[in-house]
Structure 1
Amino acid sequence: MTTVRPLRIGVLVAQKEGFENWELMIFDRIMADPRFSLITFIVHPNPFGDLKASRLFELESHLERRLLARQRRYTPQTFDANRQRFDDLRVLGTYVAADIDVPRQLVNERELDLVIRLTPASLPSDAIRDLPFGEWAFNFCDQRSRKADWFSYRDVISKSAATELLLYAKQDDARVTSIASPSFNIKFSAARNAAFLKERAVTLLMRELGRLADSRELKAEPSRRNDVVKPPSSVDMVRYAGGLSSHFLARAIKALRARMHSGSAIWTLYTGRGRIDDFDPRESVEIPPTKSDIKADPFLFQYGNECYLFYEAYADGDRKAHIAVGRFRGDKIEPVGIALSCDHHLSYPFVFRDGKSIFMMPETHQSRRIEIWRCVEFPLKWELYSTAFEGRSAADSVLTRHKGKWWLFTNLSDFHAYEDHCSELYLFEVDGPELKRIISHKHNPVVIGSTVARNGGRILERNGQLYRPSQCNAHGIYGYGLNIMEIEELSLTAYRERCIRTITPDFKKGLRGCHHFDAAGERYVVDARLSL
């Protein structure tokens, strides 16, 4: 058996200490993975080049990071800076003849396969040319000076739909290629948005390094990089301050309404006739909420000759929801009762059959595990059947059986400071509802980015083709839109899907979002958001 040499990785840094949490997380994970070898840290002699920001913005950036993006310090498990090799170009340059390219010499002496750049300034092109897989960097690394970081300010100020996180590579002949470019919903604060994306960048980088280690082939496309992003101007900062003020005022009003046991997000349902690949929500009929029965995350279930609706149910002002069930009478719902209620929040009641048994896998992320319940007496009596992922934070999980195999799609949150279920989709082959045998996909998470990753309903098959409804979280709104993803490849070593349509909240008047789809027979149901 041939032993594959670990990828030999160098990291281009600005200093020997004072690393940010996301940087420490990267170092820690690289060192813990036998596919990689962290060879050296290269200290750049002029890491920020000529990049500067105004003193006013430097002060604002510092205060915003302290107030709105503060997080507890990450403690590495395997990385210790005192035990690492640091090649300081500022020192080496004084001992080497002027006609010798020090960075290029380092790259070759250390036999590096690639360098991860954490500074705005790059290695010289001659040194990059000698790296088999080039110099890797994120777009946010290019938008900072020694005292300020302006990544995502432009997006927040201009109210962009989403922020792109670009991982790209510089290679020979100054060629720049895009390795991955997921997009994420924008938060109210640019500093908080940047901190959140940097944590997501850790997972993205490790996935792409893993793919490279397995294939030894850099799969990248011509880069779509934008022009150089400059720090915000004084006019920009006035607009930005106005946006922050409006946000905090809205939060204060919402908090006041919560104290008055009101102000919950209001969702409604729409039902109609159609299939996942051809339904028209404009022709749907509303199943309106009441103040004591707000409905979201609907799942249909055919039982005998009747169609039942399971859904997340709560009253305006409630802090947690339960699972309720009703049955259709025409296009209206006749309440049946509470199917499941726990001490913690419940939602997303994915109901399915396996043989003669009926199961439900609701979202139970507050219990820090996935739970599957078996129906004892349909539709109101259920017993806990199996659990998995103890201690993990999972949301909106679904099982599907395809070509004789069971697959689990779930939105796990792998986080240090920012728990989030909208950004990463994980795939596992399992043994069915028992969840005793769980095999991870080789390149988990298989989908990254809040505009496509989070599940928005059960996996449906139509004419032999699998479709995955997914949420489009954008415009600063959770559940802004609904994607229909066509699954093109599904195995333990490959996963590929493409978006065939996106439903936005304009199919009826007064909508703010829509994020869930399910179908049974000729009937479908979607939910839509009426308030933020």
Structure 2
Amino acid sequence: MEKLVTERERMRSVATEPLRIGFLVGPNPGFENWELRIFDRVMAAPGLSLVSFLVHPRPFRRQPISPLFGPLARLEQAVLAREPVYVPTTFSMNNQRHERLPPAVDFDGCDAKRAVRLVSDLGLDLVVRMTAVGLPDEVVRALPFGEWSFSFSDERSDTDDWHGYDSVLRRAPSSLLCLYVRHGADPETQCLASSSFNTKFSAARNAGFTKERAVTLVMRELTRVADTGNLGTVTAAPKTDDAATPPSTGDLLRYAGALSGQLLYRAGKALHTKVGGASAVWTLCTGHGNIEDFDPRQSVEIAPDRDEIRADPFMLHHDGQCYLFYEAYAKRDTKAHIAVARMNGDRLERLGVALERDYHLSYPFVFRHGQDLFMMPETNQARRLEIWCCVEFPLKWELHATALHGLSPADSVLTRYRDRWWLFTNLSDFHAYEDHCSELHVFEVDGPGLSRVVPHKRNPVVLDSTTARNAGRMFQRDGRLYRPSQRNEYGVYGYGLNVMLVEQLDRENYRERCVRTIVPDFKPKLVACHHFDAAGDRYILDARLRN
């Protein structure tokens, strides 16, 4: 059931002061990278104020933990998930206010009455819980926006952290991250925002990746609440009882066996590639239909050639003929280029290299504006966005515009919707785990010139590896705007393909929902399908073949 905000929360919408935030922490010093990044960003954000750290007297519950867990977890962390140390730029623990919550006399926890007085004196709007044990209900009621926590906040003791194991042990296709809130007269746990991420083979990597994404999630929501003065709509929290329980000795033995098998498989795969084995092989499938009704089971395969593998296809009608621009590479190549072919029915007539650079190119989004033809390939290795203009079709292009310098935009598309140009791109907000599959960022731009690039107020507008990454150009049909997106799950890059219906797009809001999902079961020997394009009554998609 959805739970609406209270009138007291709405009243803050007229306030001009920063959102006053407290962090609930334990008495022992030392924070993980993801925690330091949150503190650092709150300190730097103009609409947020880090008022105080609240030190919980008893921040963890007593949990029976297998004696194998500690040594195995530390070994895995050291070997598979070691992170570079994060050095804050604006945050210093020595300069922060610390207030110890008064302990209760007759039970584990803090004295509620005295704690209420403390948070009121501090003028806190909300408290972000970084501990397994939270605030008493009476204290939560005194906070206009309540107590926030993460779905992994309860998965730790004073010595151990078992977040990441549950989804790996269950072989879950994706790992859920929720930002919880307790607030109001009846402060039960509700979900303020949620995301899902492709489950990793290692629990330590799974945990590190999810926690890094948690930084982005909580900062987006804190900024939104500070900007709107409104908590928004919250939903019922999912059941996560199993995740809150440490893995048993049997679970750990089963996990160790599975992890060993994965490591052996990956070592063999790396050796195979090193001695000349094949890269990932993609094939193309084409047929008749549009984004609303295409049936990949009826498609015809355009198999890769011996010397050219093709992916990320974009179609273009030009002078009465259909052309295909695509990422091209040969087996054992370390980078790709953009090639072009003429489509003759279900066959390709290769025309040559359209664009090649000393860095990897892919995703050649081709589009017209006025009398000009443009291409916006993926150039994230160059740490910028590039748009090229065609000067001699189809093999001669010159650089037209650049943007997003210093970032690594992937799979970018432009669309003109309701008289505004919008850039959709996949960036990565990271410290140790760069990933272009989890964040969709939107910018309002002035067109292909990119002289004006304004980030959307709610970036990243999508934070979820099962829907965020672009998978082709956007389509408008009968007033509806569709966005193809990748479905990254089951530990597979580009496992499936979604069709997302954009329900709201303006300068302050973005909302979409999935209306179709295509999984790689429409042809034999497929393991992934991650791109769609169409022109006229013909479509094309790519699919990865099992090696």
After TM superposition, the score normalised by the length of structure 2 is 0.94
Structure 1 residue 494 corresponds to structure 2 residue 494: no
Q: Which of 221, 228, 238 in structure 1 is aligned with 2:253?
A: 238
C-alpha separation in 1, matches of 2:208 and 2:495: 22
Amino acid at match of 1:223: A
Structure 1 residue 125 corresponds to structure 2 residue 140: no
Matched residue, 2:230: 217
* Alignment of structure 1 residues 29-428 onto 2, 5 Å: 29-89=41-101, 101-171=113-183, 172-219=185-232, 220-229=234-243, 230-428=245-443
C-alpha separation in 2, matches of 1:366 and 1:162: 27
Paired residues of 2:112 and 2:136 also in contact (CA < 8 A)? no
Deviation at 1:169, TM superposition (A): 0.5
3-state SS of paired residue (1:60): helix
Deviation at 1:308, TM superposition (A): 0.5
Deviation at 1:478, TM superposition (A): 0.3
Q: Structure 1 371/99 Cα, relative in aligned 2: closer, same or farther at 3 Å?
A: closer
Matched residue, 2:6: none
Q: Structure 1 100/186 Cα, relative in aligned 2: closer, same or farther at 3 Å?
A: closer
**Segment of structure 1 superposing worse, 404-413 or 221-230:** 221-230
Query: Root-mean-square deviation (CA), in Å?
Result: 1.7
Deviations 1:105-145 (CA, angstroms, capped at 9, x unpaired): 21111111110000110111111111111110001111111
Amino acid at match of 1:279: F
Deviation at 1:427, TM superposition (A): 0.4
C-alpha separation in 1, matches of 2:254 and 2:335: 36
Aligned residues: 529
* Alignment of structure 1 residues 20-31 onto 2, 5 Å: 20-31=32-43
Deviation at 1:273, TM superposition (A): 0.3
Matched residue, 1:18: 30
Amino acid at match of 2:328: A
C-alpha separation in 2, matches of 1:520 and 1:210: 40
C-alpha separation in 1, matches of 2:72 and 2:254: 13
Deviations 1:33-67 (CA, angstroms, capped at 9, x unpaired): 12111111011111112134222111111221122
Paired residues of 1:322 and 1:347 also in contact (CA < 8 A)? yes
After TM superposition, the score normalised by the length of structure 1 is 0.97
3-state SS of paired residue (1:279): coil
C-alpha separation in 2, matches of 1:428 and 1:225: 36
Paired residues of 1:17 and 1:81 also in contact (CA < 8 A)? no
3-state SS of paired residue (2:468): coil
Structure 1 gaps of 5+ residues are none
Q: Structure 1 521/255 Cα, relative in aligned 2: closer, same or farther at 3 Å?
A: same
Matched residue, 1:524: 539
**Segment of structure 1 superposing worse, 247-256 or 77-86:** 247-256
Amino acid at match of 2:345: G
Structure 1 residue 478 corresponds to structure 2 residue 493: yes
Q: Structure 1 444/85 Cα, relative in aligned 2: closer, same or farther at 3 Å?
A: same
Q: Structure 1 280/132 Cα, relative in aligned 2: closer, same or farther at 3 Å?
A: same
Paired residues of 2:65 and 2:246 also in contact (CA < 8 A)? yes
Deviation at 1:99, TM superposition (A): 7.8
3-state SS of paired residue (1:512): strand
C-alpha separation in 2, matches of 1:161 and 1:346: 29
Deviation at 1:157, TM superposition (A): 1.4
Amino acid at match of 2:83: Q
Deviation at 1:404, TM superposition (A): 1.8
Deviation at 1:30, TM superposition (A): 0.7
C-alpha separation in 2, matches of 1:99 and 1:72: 39
**Segment of structure 1 superposing worse, 48-57 or 336-345:** 48-57
Deviation at 1:284, TM superposition (A): 0.4
Q: Which of 452, 456, 475 in structure 1 is aligned with 2:471?
A: 456
C-alpha separation in 2, matches of 1:423 and 1:269: 25
Deviations 1:431-483 (CA, angstroms, capped at 9, x unpaired): 11111101111111100110000000001111121100000000000000000
Paired residues of 2:156 and 2:162 also in contact (CA < 8 A)? yes
Deviation at 1:402, TM superposition (A): 1.4
C-alpha separation in 1, matches of 2:115 and 2:132: 16
Stretches of 4+ moved more than 6 A in 1?
Answer: none
Deviation at 1:152, TM superposition (A): 2.0
C-alpha separation in 2, matches of 1:410 and 1:204: 18
Deviations 1:144-177 (CA, angstroms, capped at 9, x unpaired): 1122111121111121110000101112323221
**Segment of structure 1 superposing worse, 146-155 or 110-119:** 146-155
Amino acid at match of 2:220: R
Amino acid at match of 1:480: Y
Q: Which of 527, 533, 537 in structure 2 is aligned with 1:512?
A: 527
Matched residue, 2:3: none
C-alpha separation in 1, matches of 2:111 and 2:460: 46
Deviation at 1:226, TM superposition (A): 2.2
C-alpha separation in 1, matches of 2:470 and 2:112: 54
3-state SS of paired residue (2:323): strand
Deviation at 1:228, TM superposition (A): 4.9
Amino acid at match of 1:253: G
C-alpha separation in 1, matches of 2:111 and 2:472: 63
Q: Structure 1 100/28 Cα, relative in aligned 2: closer, same or farther at 3 Å?
A: closer
Paired residues of 1:170 and 1:177 also in contact (CA < 8 A)? yes
Deviations 1:252-298 (CA, angstroms, capped at 9, x unpaired): 12211222222311111100000101111100000001232111111
